[in-house]
Amino acid sequence: MKYDKTSNKDTEISTALKSILFGAAVGATICAGFLFLFAFLFVAVKSIPQYFIQAIAIFCAAVGAFVSGYISVKIYRSKGLIYGALAGVLLFFMLTVISFIVSRDKFTYITLIRFLAMIFSGAFGGVLAVNKKRRK
């Protein structure tokens, strides 16, 4: 029986897409968990400066993107920088669309900072995941 190379490429692309989607979903869950935690702390403190709230939101998004990149590359097992960054970008678009729908906000420099932070932290998570030694 002759081996068909096209089916291997289709399988590779679908596996990569599934790993990125699953990683972004896990990253979104982690990001939401951190946001709930900090929202609870903000209510307890009662007076938080606006710039601190934005910094914490960027931090939560970066942590979610890191986990997203790490999980997706752990599933895919190669190309850590690329697939980690793609998972971070997907998570950024998910969070940005949701925030634009909910708050009717516009694209600002904070959005650009969040975008860069999520790309770099997703890529960093992917690189760490691909370079981590496996247990036997």
Q: Tell me: the pLDDT tens digits for 37-47?
A: 988 888 888 78
| DSSP, res 2 | P
Torsion of the alpha carbons at 38, 44, 47 and 50, rounded to the nearest 10: 10
89 pLDDT above the threshold of 90: yes
Give me the mean pLDDT over the 70-85 stretch: 86
5 pLDDT above the threshold of 60: no
Give me the mean pLDDT over the 62-87 stretch: 88
67-92: b (≥16 Cβ within 10 Å) or e? bbbbbbbbbbeeebeebbbbbbbbbb
Closest to 72 (Cα-Cα) out of 28, 21, 29, 34 = 21
Task: Give the pLDDT score at 1.
Answer: 46
Q: How many residues does the chain have?
A: 136
17 pLDDT above the threshold of 60: yes
